[in-house]
């Protein structure tokens, strides 16, 4: 039997990005003793990398903006597959969350009259992104961290212990959410540096672990994005929603190879940058889809006038939602009109004076200068699509962020599904983190308070099983049991094969035969990953960490491939070459992935023997007053026939 440290908390938040920190602050402020646990150093979450800004209809830059317009843009961007109640709450509450950040010390860029400055972004009708140059995520995390420290100082004054009510466990990885009698009872985790196991017992757990990009070869995401939270939820019995929707950001760096995939922020286009092919043509004018025709400029002159006079001109098509721009770039490269390194050209140098570029896009200036020796004030950048964000995620209740089917489990941020439908608009993630992070913390704390008379105790059997699972890579050669028998495997080789498979066969343009091939390969990798072996010991051993992360990436990748194969239409971040159009009948359908065991029991916990089962579910009809925000002619493009009739 394993002897592991146990600690008791009311709420455990897994993840210290924007969603996790906002959840933790809320839970602690509502009286819950709260633990935050994160894989990397405190403050080094993915949120730090966010560049462009936070979308919130504060109407600082255009007084016509309102939550209703933001809601409309979000639903259009998601091609109406959004969980509409989430989109409504998000649009309504985002401004409060930004103002609240300011009261906690965030220093946003200002307008001339001293209000928070807001910039243009793809798919947003008005300038809506509150920002700090192109380093907004850093300021967001700095502010939330500072708030956490101030709460800890308050606790110190009352209890003499900074960590009595709010404690951060950094550089620790959670490998299992534990359950007792069908309810959450805590998490099993290990310290990355020492390899020491420990258990945090708690009636409520908030998952806020971010995305899945490391399953793909070319990605803007960092090493942490291995789909852990998605897999933890699956293994705990909670379904994932619409995992086929993966966002390929149109503009990642393409050269040199060592930096391929690193993001080039959408602010470059929001601030006036244009896309050209090798013939020098601004090709986006050829790619405006019918659903957006009335909203976008038809000529370069009109598009250019829009920057100064947005009320009397339509926006340029470089600012179409990301899925449209990514597909257009892909098509240009395929037609042989790409740049020398397989992308297209993104140019600000001919659009703005050098000092304006350096002031408004300082990170981009340094990124290209240092990584590619390109001076963006004098020459064009080369860019191409990169795997950036996952719209699919843990299926949650819109108001409470409670994960479906597992009492005590909550999810917020990129790991949660529903909010963004089939495609996320830029800037809508940072606001999502704050709105639903707060809601998750609130409801988790409330739930934990309601269970205070029945504190969960984690039984030893579960701890032993979690410890054995985590230790398996050290005894891979002893693994002979079917179906996993065979020689040990190198986790790095398995990871590379997985990334190549997802990139080539379930990437930006998808085909039935290729996805079937991907599923076969994933099944093979899942069996081989059971034998992922490492040498040495548990003290900081990156190979071991990767071997454990592989379980998660493989489960999540299978969900993406299965759902992508099932959805026989193209919508948002899911493009089928064999089903190129958006099919209105599919608007009514959500796809749910659950882990079942082969004997038919639900919520299997064995990642190699359990199988991903996919079910269809009818989406909830959009509330009438929200539908009334759209023109009837527009709704006809999106809604299924029977919905229009209703």
Assess whether the previous peptide bond of 545 is cis (omega < 30° from 0): no
Question: Is 120 an interacting residue with respect to ligand FAD (CB under 6 A)?
Answer: no
Taking the alpha carbons of 627, 628, 630, 633 in that order, is the dihedral positive or negative? positive
Residue with the CB atom nearest ligand FAD in the bound state = 17
Instruction: Closer to ligand FAD by CB, 45 or 380: give it.
Output: 45
Site membership for ligand FAD, residue 476 (CB under 6 A): no
Q: Which of 78, 210, 270, 393 binds ligand FAD (CB under 6 A)?
A: 210
Of 65, 88, 201, 224, the residue at the interface with ligand FAD (CB under 6 A) is 224
* 263, 332 Cβ separation under 8 angstroms: no
Q: Is 51 in the site for ligand FAD (CB under 6 A)?
A: yes
Binding of ligand FAD by 17 (CB under 6 A): yes
40 binds ligand FAD (CB under 6 A): yes
| Residue 329 touching ligand FAD (CB under 6 A) | no
| Residue 269 is among the residues annotated as catalytic for this protein | yes
Q: Which stretch binds ligand FAD (CB under 6 A): 220-228, 367-375, 442-450, 494-502?
A: 220-228
Least separation in angstroms between residue 477's CB and ligand FAD is 26
- We find the least distance from the C-beta atom of residue 475 to ligand FAD, in angstroms, to be 22
Comparison of 224 and 244: residue with beta carbon closer to ligand FAD: 224
Please, what's the largest Cα pairwise distance for the chain?
73
Q: Which helix (H) or strand (E) holds 90?
A: helix 84-103
Q: What one-character-per-residue DSSP string does 156-208 give? A: HHHHS-TTSSEEEE-SEEEEEEEEETTEEEEEEEEETTT--EEEEE-SEEEE-
The H-assigned helical ranges of 281-321 are 300-306
* Shortest CB 234 distance to ligand FAD, Å: 13
Residues 6+ apart with CB under 8 A from 575: 323, 327, 508, 509, 510
DSSP helix/strand/coil, 324:
helix
In the shown chain, the binding pattern of residues 365 to 394 toward ligand FAD, with x for contact by CB under 6 A and - for none, equals ------------------------x-----
The first and second tokens of residue 67, run together, are 């939550």
Q: In what order do the strands lie in the sheet with 54-55?
A: 54-55, 129-130, 118-119
For ligand FAD, which stretch binds (CB under 6 A), given 42-50, 104-112, 325-333, 519-527? 42-50
Respond yes or no on whether the N-terminal peptide bond of residue 462 is cis (omega within 30° of 0).
no
Nearest in space to 540 (alpha carbons), one of 284, 134, 173: 173
For residue 320, give the nearest of 120, 44, 157 by alpha carbon. 120
Q: CB of residue 31 vs ligand FAD: minimum separation in angstroms?
A: 23
* Binds ligand FAD by CB under 6 A, chosen from 215, 330, 398, 429: 429
By CB under 6 A, residue 418 contacts ligand FAD: no
208 binds ligand FAD (CB under 6 A): yes
Beta strands in 288-380 (DSSP E): 344-347
Q: How many residues bind ligand FAD (CB under 6 A)?
A: 41
How close are the terminal C-alpha atoms of the chain, in Å? 60
Catalytic residue among 135, 192, 269, 545: 269
Of 443, 445, 437, which is closest to residue 412 (Cα–Cα)?
437
Tokens of 76: 């259009």
Q: Which residues bind ligand FAD (CB under 6 A)?
A: 14-20, 37-40, 45-47, 49-53, 136-137, 173-174, 208-210, 220-221, 224, 228, 263, 389, 413-415, 426-430, 433
The residues annotated as belonging to the active site are 249, 269
């Amino acid at each position: 039997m394993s002897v592991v440290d146990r600690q008791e908390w009311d709420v455990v938040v897994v993840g210290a990005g924007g969603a996790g920190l906002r959840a933790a602050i809320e839970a602690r402020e509502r009286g819950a003793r709260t633990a935050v646990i994160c894989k990397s150093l405190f403050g080094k979450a993915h949120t730090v990398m966010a560049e462009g800004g936070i979308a919130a209809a504060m109407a600082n830059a255009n007084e016509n903006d309102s939550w209703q317009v933001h809601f409309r843009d979000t639903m259009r961007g998601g091609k109406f597959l959004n969980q509409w109640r989430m989109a409504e709450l998000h649009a309504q509450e985002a401004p409060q969350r930004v103002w609240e950040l300011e009261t906690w010390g965030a220093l946003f860029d200002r307008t001339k009259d001293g209000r928070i400055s807001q910039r243009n972004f793809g798919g947003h009708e008005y300038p809506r992104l509150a920002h700090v140059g192109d380093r907004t995520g850093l300021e967001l995390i700095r502010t939330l961290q500072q708030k956490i420290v101030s709460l800890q100082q308050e606790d110190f004054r009352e209890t003499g212990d900074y960590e009595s009510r709010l404690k951060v466990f950094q550089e620790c990885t959670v490998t299992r959410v534990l359950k007792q009698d069908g309810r959450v009872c805590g998490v099993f985790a290990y310290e990355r540096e020492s390899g020491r196991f420990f258990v945090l017992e708690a009636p409520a757990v908030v998952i806020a672990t971010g995305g899945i990009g490391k399953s793909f070869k070319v990605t803007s995401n960092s090493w942490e994005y291995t789909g852990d939270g998605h897999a933890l939820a699956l293994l705990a019995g909670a379904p994932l929603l619409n995992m086929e929707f993966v966002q390929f950001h149109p503009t990642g760096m393409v050269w040199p190879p060592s930096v391929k995939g690193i993001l080039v922020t959408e602010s470059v286009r929001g601030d006036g940058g244009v896309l050209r092919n090798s013939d020098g043509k601004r090709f986006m004018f050829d790619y405006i889809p019918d659903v957006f025709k009335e909203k976008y400029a038809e000529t370069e002159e009109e598009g250019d006038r829009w920057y100064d006079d947005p009320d009397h001109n339509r926006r340029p098509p470089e600012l179409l939602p990301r899925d449209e721009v990514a597909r257009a770039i892909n098509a240009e490269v395929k037609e042989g009109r790409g740049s020398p390194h397989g992308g297209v050209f993104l140019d600000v140098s001919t659009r703005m004076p050098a000092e304006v570029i350096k002031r408004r896009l300082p990170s981009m200036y340094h990124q290209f200068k240092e990584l590619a020796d390109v001076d963006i004030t004098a020459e064009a950048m080369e860019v191409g699509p990169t795997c950036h964000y996952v719209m699919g995620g843990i299926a949650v209740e819109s108001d409470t962020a409670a994960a479906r089917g597992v009492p005590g489990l909550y999810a917020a941020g990129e790991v949660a599904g529903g909010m963004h439908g089939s495609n996320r608009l830029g800037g809508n993630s940072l606001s999502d983190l704050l709105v639903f992070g707060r809601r998750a913390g609130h409801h988790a704390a409330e739930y934990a308070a309601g269970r205070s008379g029945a504190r969960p105790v984690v039984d030893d059997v579960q701890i032993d099983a979690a410890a054995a699972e985590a230790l398996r890579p050290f005894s891979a050669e002893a693994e002979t049991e079917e179906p996993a028998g065979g020689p040990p495997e190198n986790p790095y080789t398995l990871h590379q094969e997985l990334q190549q498979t997802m990139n080539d066969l379930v990437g930006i343009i998808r085909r039935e035969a290729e996805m079937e091939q991907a599923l076969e390969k994933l099944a093979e990798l899942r069996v081989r990953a059971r034998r992922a072996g490492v040498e040495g010991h548990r003290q900081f051993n990156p190979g071991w960490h990767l071997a454990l992360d592989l379980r998660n990436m493989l489960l999540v990748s299978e969900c993406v491939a299965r759902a992508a194969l099932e959805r026989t239409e193209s919508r948002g971040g899911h493009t089928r070459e064999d089903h190129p159009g958006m099919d209105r009948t599919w608007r009514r359908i959500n796809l749910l992935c659950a882990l079942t065991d082969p004997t038919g029991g639900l919520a299997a916990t064995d990642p190699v023997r359990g199988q991903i089962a996919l079910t269809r579910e009818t989406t909830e009809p959009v509330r009438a007053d929200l539908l009334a925000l759209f023109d009837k002619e527009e709704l006809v493009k999106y809604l299924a026939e029977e919905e229009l009739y209703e």
